A and B are shown apart, each in its own frame.
Chain A
Amino acid sequence: MKAFAELYSRLDATTSSNAKLSAMRDYFASVPAEDAAWAVYFLAGGRPRQLVPTRLLREQAMTLGDLPEWLFEESYQAVGDLAETLSLLLPEAVHSSDQGLAVWLEEKLLPLRGLPPEELAERLPTFWAQLDRISLMVCIKLITGSFRVGVSKLLVTRALAALADIDSKRVAQRLVGYTDLSNRPTAEGFQKLIAPESEDEHAQRGGQPYPFFLAHALQQPVDQFENLLGPVDNWQVEWKWDGIRAQLVKRDGRLWIWSRGEELVTDRFPELHSLVQNLPDGTVIDGEIVVWKAPEPAAPEGKAFELKDQATDQAAPSVQPFALLQQRIGRKTLGKKILEEVPVVLLAYDLLEWQGHDWRSRPQQERRTQLDALIESCQSPVLLPSPVVSGSDWLDLSQQREASRSLGVEGMMLKAKDALYGVGRTKDMGVWWKWKVDPFSVDAVLIYAQRGHGRRASLYSDYTFAVWDGPPESSQRTLVPFAKAYSGLTDEEMRKVDAIVRKTTVEKFGPVSSVTPTLVFELGFEGIALSKRHKSGIAVRFPRMLRWRQDKSVAEADSLSTLQDLLG
Chain B
Amino acid sequence: MDLVIARPEGLYCPPGDFYIDPWRPVERSVITHGHGDHARTGNEHYLAAAPGEGILRSRLGQDINLQTLEYGETLLHHGVKLSLHPAGHVLGSAQVRLEYKGEVWVASGDYKVEPDGTCAPFEPVRCHTFITESTFGLPIYQWQPQSKIFAGINDWWRANAAAGKASVLFAYSFGKAQRILHGIDPQIGPILVHGAVEPLNRVYRAAGVRIPETLYAGDFKKTDPALRQALILAPPSAGGSSWMKRFGEFSDAFASGWMMLRGTRRRRGVDRGFVLSDHADWPGLLWAIEQTGAERVMVTHGSVAVLVRYLRERGLDAQGFVTEYGDEDDASAAEVQPDEVQLGKNNEGQA
Q: Do A and B come from one complex?
A: yes
Interface of A: prevailing SS: helix
Q: Min CB distance, B350 to chain A, in Å?
A: 10
Pick from B142, B269, B313: contact of A88, CB below 8 A: B142
Kindly state whether residue A514 has any CB partner on chain B within 8 Å.
Answer: no
* 0 or 1 for each of A70-82: is its CB under 8 Å from B? (1 = yes): 1100110011110
Task: Determine how close the nearest CB of chain A comes to the CB of B274; give it in whole angstroms.
Answer: 12
- CB of B266 closer than 8 Å to a CB of A: yes
Residues from chain A with Cβ under 8 Å of B310 in the complex: 68, 71
Which residues of A from 219 to 239 have beta carbons under 8 Å from B? Answer: none
B271 at the interface (CB under 8 A from A): yes
Q: Is A168 an interface residue (CB 8 A)?
A: no
Other-chain residue from A70, A75, A456, A502 in contact with B263 (beta carbon distance below 8 A): A456
Query: Nearest chain-B residue to A70 (Cβ)?
Result: B309
What are the residues of chain B within 8 A of A456 when measuring CB–CB? 263, 267
Q: Shortest CB–CB separation between residue B50 and chain A, in angstroms?
A: 38
| Binary interface encoding of chain A residues 486-497 relative to chain B, with 1 for a CB under 8 A from any of its CBs, else 0 | 000001000100
Number of A interface residues, CB 8 Å? Answer: 31
A458 in contact with B263 given A13-B272, A78-B140, A79-B140 (CB within 8 Å): yes
Whether B267 contacts A455 by the Cβ 8 Å rule is: yes
Q: Give residues of chain B (78-114) contacting chain A, Cβ–Cβ below 8 Å.
A: none
CB-CB < 8 A to B237: which residues of A?
A: none
A65-B138 contact given A88-B260, A458-B263, CB 8 Å threshold: no
Tell me if B332 is interfacial: C-beta within 8 Å of chain A. Answer: yes
Q: Which of A78-110 contact B (CB under 8 A)?
A: 78-81, 84-85, 88-89, 92
- Are B266 and A455 in contact (CB-based, < 8 A)? yes
Shortest Cβ distance from A67 into B: residue: B139
A30 sits at the interface (CB 8 A) = no
For the A-B complex, the count of residue pairs with Cβ-Cβ distances under 8 Å equals: 65
Most buried by A among B269, B313, B348: B348
Q: Are B261 and A84 in contact (CB under 8 A)?
A: yes
Closest-by-CB residue of B relative to A12 is: B262
Contact A457 B309 (CB under 8 A): no
B-side interface size class: 20 to 34
User: Does A459 count as interface, using CB distance less than 8 angstroms?
Assistant: yes
| A454 to B265 Cα, complex, angstroms | 10
The CA of A360 and the CA of B306, in the complex, are separated in Å by: 61
Q: Distance in Å from the Cβ of B336 to the closest Cβ of chain A?
A: 12
Contact with B along A277-313 (1 / 0, CB 8 A): 0000000000000000000000000000000000000
Q: Is A14 an interface residue (CB 8 A)?
A: yes
The distance from the CB of A48 to the nearest CB of chain B, in whole angstroms, is 23
Residues in A neighbouring B264, C-beta threshold 8 A? 457-458
CA distance A499 to B309 in the complex (A): 25
Residue-wise, chain A 19-61 has the 8 Å CB interface mask toward B (1 for contact) of 0000000000000000000000000000000000000000000
Q: List the A residue with the shortest CB-CB distance to B273.
A: A13
Asked if B266 and A78 sit within 8 Å, CB to CB, the answer is no
B263 touches A454 (CB 8 A): yes
**Which of B260, B306, B348 is A502 in contact with, Cβ under 8 Å?**
B348
Question: Which residues of B297-316 are within 8 A (CB) of A?
Answer: 303, 306, 309-310, 313
Q: Mask for B298-340, Cβ within 8 A of A = 1, else 0?
A: 0000010010011001000000000000000000101000000
Task: Please give, as numbers and ranges, the residues of chain B lying within 8 Å of A70 by CB-CB distance.
Answer: 309
Question: What residues of B have a CB within 8 angstroms of the CB of A15 in the complex?
Answer: 269
Among residues of B, the one whose C-beta sits closest to the C-beta of A502 is B348
Min C-beta distance of A55 to chain B, whole Å: 19
Question: B313, A89: Cβ atoms under 8 Å?
Answer: no
Contacts A81-B263, A84-B261; A14 near B271 (Cβ below 8 A): yes
Cα–Cα distance between A458 and B266 once the two chains are bound (Å): 12
Known: A68-B313, A74-B306, A79-B263. A458 touches B140 (CB 8 A): no
* A84:B271 contact, CB within 8 angstroms: no
Instruction: Determine if A89 and B263 form an interchain contact, defined as CB atoms under 8 angstroms apart.
Output: no
* B-side contacts of A491, CB under 8 Å: 267
Instruction: Check A78–B309 contact: CB distance below 8 A.
Output: no
User: Contact partner of B271 among A13, A75, A79, CB < 8 A?
Assistant: A13
Give the residues in chain A near B269, CB-CB below 8 Å: 15
Q: List 13 A-B contacts (CB under 8 A).
A: A13-B271, A71-B138, A74-B303, A75-B140, A79-B140, A80-B261, A84-B262, A92-B142, A454-B263, A455-B267, A457-B262, A458-B261, A502-B348
**Given A74-B138, A457-B263, A458-B261, 7 more contacts at CB 8 Å?**
A12-B262, A71-B310, A74-B306, A92-B142, A455-B263, A455-B267, A459-B332
Q: Nearest 9 A-B pairs (CB), nearest first?
A: A457-B263, A88-B140, A455-B266, A75-B140, A74-B306, A75-B138, A80-B263, A13-B271, A78-B138
Chain B interface (Cβ < 8 Å from any Cβ of A): 138-140, 142, 260-264, 266-267, 269, 271-272, 303, 306, 309-310, 313, 332, 334, 345, 348
